[in-house]
Structure 1
């Protein structure tokens, strides 16, 4: 709402009052409204939902749950060549693929990190949902099962691509042994949660 309506309408009114008829300076009007606001607004429009995702993930991390879920998923992920640490980037990628790929930097092993980066892109994120909805409406008559099946297709693509990548020499071998400290459960710290959310959100905006 903020980047789709309020800010464009504000600048549109400002330019009309300052320059009069936009036909006089069509290049300037188009540069600001279509170029700057259109391009930047398209990216910043994802910021609110990304911040909510980062906030929830920060809470889970601060209470000590994320380390445990990565440990639990390690046995499953090893069957198709990935480490349990790949689960966290893929979970983040359900909100947006960019921070999901960025989160793979925490994986120490180079082989596991590269495989995670190459497979995380198959996870359906919020930016892909309008495209999925477009194809569902155009080709399948707005069948709701199409959008739901897109997630399962994405997960299947991750599994299949992981199995295929294991066949290449670069990614051959077993994932690195899972070594991660499991902190005790505790109440989240508001300062830590907000600081982590801010750092990740600002990093997303800059990139």
Structure 2
């Protein structure tokens, strides 16, 4: 009986070590696995280190905020929606679905403070990244359409938008994640706005918003 116990003891120790190692695995690895399921390679540790450095350098966060996830949420929520992702070192669109799926299966409140900080930072990293796929169209009261500060013939709108999507493919911009925001001068005729929105929806672009 003693020999059997002595034999089992090392096995128990090994199991405990493996369980401890698994439980202490950084949450960043879980994020990477979530994105690996859609064949998207991402080094979460590296991007979040760079992101933190940019936020601190720009005096949006201070070092102490990294110990309080609620401060991260509060301060980053105050940034304008049209924040430039490149200003924060964000090189391309990070799709939202894998992140949402991971969060839905995770008890966030049970995570330790360090992991909650990772969750807060990645949440805004992903949120800011989608601005790479944000296209703004300006409509004028004279029934003119502007894109990137230039007048666009309505008949050329589809080709121009898809050319821009193709140009930004290296930043993971696609017709499925592009977001069209329409802004109109106050006196722009309603029927012109309706016409442009209808034209965009016929292009099978999923997200069209009117401001």
Task: Report if TM-score (shorter chain) is over 0.5.
Answer: no
The answer to which structure has the higher strand fraction is 2
User: TM-score, normalized by length of structure 2?
Assistant: 0.27
- TM-score w.r.t. the length of structure 1 is 0.28
**Structure with the larger RCO, 1 or 2 (CA within 8 Å, 6+ apart):** 1
* Structure with the bigger percentage of helix: 1
